[in-house]
Chains A and B, each alone.
Chain A
Amino acid sequence: MINNQVTQTAFPIILCILAVFLFCCLIRAIRGPKIADRLMSVNMMGTIVMVMICILALYLNEGYLVDVALVYAMISFLAVVLITKLYMGIYAERKKEEEMMKEDLFMQDYMERSEFSDITDDTEE
């Protein structure tokens, strides 16, 4: 690792630019109309943070900060897998409930109509 003057002045500039990118991703997370938008931007924020941690590891001359980046990558991957599976399950359950409710309404309607037709047949004859 180098304690050069060039790197000591260049790294803070790069870190500031990456921080601006982080803020832009957060805007996308707030604005995005769908859930996939928000999940994707949180994933991107994790990747940018990982690059920032690796740059910090060289800026402060501490080699063990790269381990933190590795653990962060694992946790963010786990989070994405969990949230997608959870949301797909919730959506499927909601659809199944809607279909069952539609069937109930259909049966009720059918029963009412059959009773009504019976009554009209009797009175006409």
Chain B
Amino acid sequence: MFEWIRLILGLVLLAISLFIFASEIIGIFKMKYVLNRMHAAAMGDTLGLLCALLGLMFISGLNFTTLKMVLVLVFLWITSPVSGHLISRMETYTNDSLTHYLKKEELGELYVKEALYDANESSGGSEAENDKSEEDEK
């Protein structure tokens, strides 16, 4: 009896995760700008992984495989937002025509030291570059 409840719960959670992945893919095709698509991808990935792995954990029962799936989930929750942030930062740094549709606000004297290339390393210190910190949508 409990086995049936576990199985049905697991399959329902897997179906929910399929719906979340589908909406994520619709999101990356419908949005017009890169940063919006990045937002859809990061949100959908995190929630879809939670529902899918939770469903699989229910189906599998109390097992060693379940513990490994918990490890995969924890690792992905820690690293996936970091990679999303890195991609967005690369996009705002390299896009020249970003001011056409975004209003940029610079936070006063916020200088971020980024050692992105070894241009002036011989002269004793990395260059300080102004980071485009805060952006609002028009």
Q: Is the CB of A63 within 8 A of B61?
A: no
Q: Which residues of A contact B38 (CB under 8 A)?
A: 36, 40
Closest Cβ of chain A: how far from B112's Cβ, in Å? Answer: 13
In the complex the two chains form, what is the Cα distance from A94 to B30 in whole Å?
32
Q: Which of A2, A24, A73, A93 contacts B7 (CB 8 A)?
A: A2
In the complex the two chains form, what is the Cα distance from A51 to B14 in whole Å?
10
Name A79-115 residues within 8 Å CB distance of B.
Answer: 80-81, 84-85, 87-89, 91-93, 96
Residues of B at under 8 Å CB distance from A? 3, 7, 11, 14, 17-18, 21-22, 24-25, 28-29, 34, 37-38, 41, 44-45, 48-49, 52-53, 56, 59-61, 63-65, 68-69, 71-72, 75-76, 79-80, 82-84, 86-91, 93-95, 116-117, 119
**Can you identify 24 A-B contacts, CB atoms within 8 angstroms?**
A1-B63, A6-B7, A7-B7, A18-B21, A24-B29, A28-B28, A28-B29, A34-B34, A34-B95, A44-B24, A44-B41, A47-B49, A47-B80, A51-B48, A51-B49, A58-B65, A63-B68, A66-B65, A70-B75, A73-B72, A77-B83, A80-B83, A87-B90, A91-B93
